Amino acid sequence: MAKKRPQTKAKQPQPKDGGEIPVVGAREPCPCGSGRRYKACHGRAAAHAVTELVHRPFEGLPGEGDWIALRELVPAATVELKLKESLPEGVPSVTLATVLPMAWPALRRDDGSVLLGLQNDTASGDISRDLADTLQRALTAPPGTPVEGRRAPAGGPRLQDLLDPEGTFEPVVHSGFEFWVPDAENATAEVTASLERANAAAIPTVKLSGVDAAYWCETPDKNHLRWVMPYAEEQLLDALARLHAAGRSSLGEGTRLVGSFRAHGLTVPVWDLPTGVTADDIEKPAAEFAERLTTALATDAPLTADERRARGGLTNRQVTLS
């Protein structure tokens, strides 16, 4: 058996000029002057910093539930964003969009306005930091150009640092992606083709007006309501189980609570609805359910046997999206 080498703690190399270590290619020499490759030196800490998972990346932002819905559930929607600081000269507005043409992370339009895409893959475990980095680069990009994706610098700002905490978050759900192209007649063939493909795949979706972060959608076989709820998961599952065991978890005749998603730290209960039940039809039942849920959430008595069985069924039908 080989002898174990004594563990020694090497002195951490420092940058030659005393500044921060810049990010370089993983196989390139580390700028600190250690002689090792970046990935084996300062790149280790940087990689860990940008891959550590943030379970609730939108926590603290106005409309956290709607951020999650637009990220995971809603095909086409936009939201006007308000920054803490004044917009740079030449940038009239910043708009969050579920998806952008060609899956661009962001786009600086010809008129200087910025579109920020939400449903893109991100390079780190913190979606908020990646989006903030993309937004900052979009604000200074030349008009008429997309912004490419990249790994956000470790320690960079997050959306919570850039957006006005007092600003509203009011999604506008669209039937298609025509908001991509202000001047459809002059769009390139590539963008036009992307628009046609996106519209063909979009599921009709409507945001309910009477409750927060609830979205009706239509599919060929049945309709659904998907509702992002701001409560702690264990507490919410207990409350849903109490209602389900009591026969009070539906949203009316022919509807059924079928399970839930887990997305970005919050739980998203899902109901099956009969074909023909519209978003307007479900507004009143959803508001009534919200009242029943509030009462169930306030109950702290141990679950009964029937409630435990109901909770087990809900847990078994839970799917994690993120």
- Tens digit of pLDDT per residue, the chain (322 long)? 333 334 434 344 444 444 444 545 556 677 677 777 755 676 655 554 445 789 999 999 999 999 999 999 999 999 999 999 999 999 999 999 999 988 899 999 999 999 999 999 888 899 999 999 999 999 999 999 999 998 898 889 999 999 999 999 999 999 999 898 877 677 778 878 878 888 888 999 999 999 999 999 999 889 999 999 999 999 999 999 999 999 999 999 999 999 999 999 999 999 999 999 999 999 999 999 999 999 999 999 999 999 999 999 999 999 888 6
Please, are residues 251 and 289 in contact by the beta-carbon 8 Å criterion? yes
What pLDDT was estimated at residue 22? 52
- Name, in order, each residue with C-beta under 8 angstroms of 17's C-beta and a sequence gap of 6 or more: none
Give me the residue label for tokens 């978003």. 279
Structure confidence at residue 230 (pLDDT): 97
Is 30:21 a contact under the CB 8 Å cutoff? yes
Whole-model pTM: value is 0.82
Instruction: Give the list of residues 6+ apart from residue 23 with CB closer than 8 angstroms, or none.
Output: 38, 43, 46, 151, 153
Based on its alpha-carbon atoms, the radius of gyration of the chain, rounded to whole angstroms, reads 24
Dmax (CA) for the chain in angstroms is 74
* 306 φ/ψ angles, rounded to the nearest 5 degrees: -65, -40
In DSSP terms, 205 is beta-bridged to 217
Output the pLDDT for position 130.
96
Cα-to-chain-centroid distance, residue 182: 26
- 114 - beta bridge partners? 94, 108
Q: In 3-state terms, what secondary structure has residue 192?
A: helix
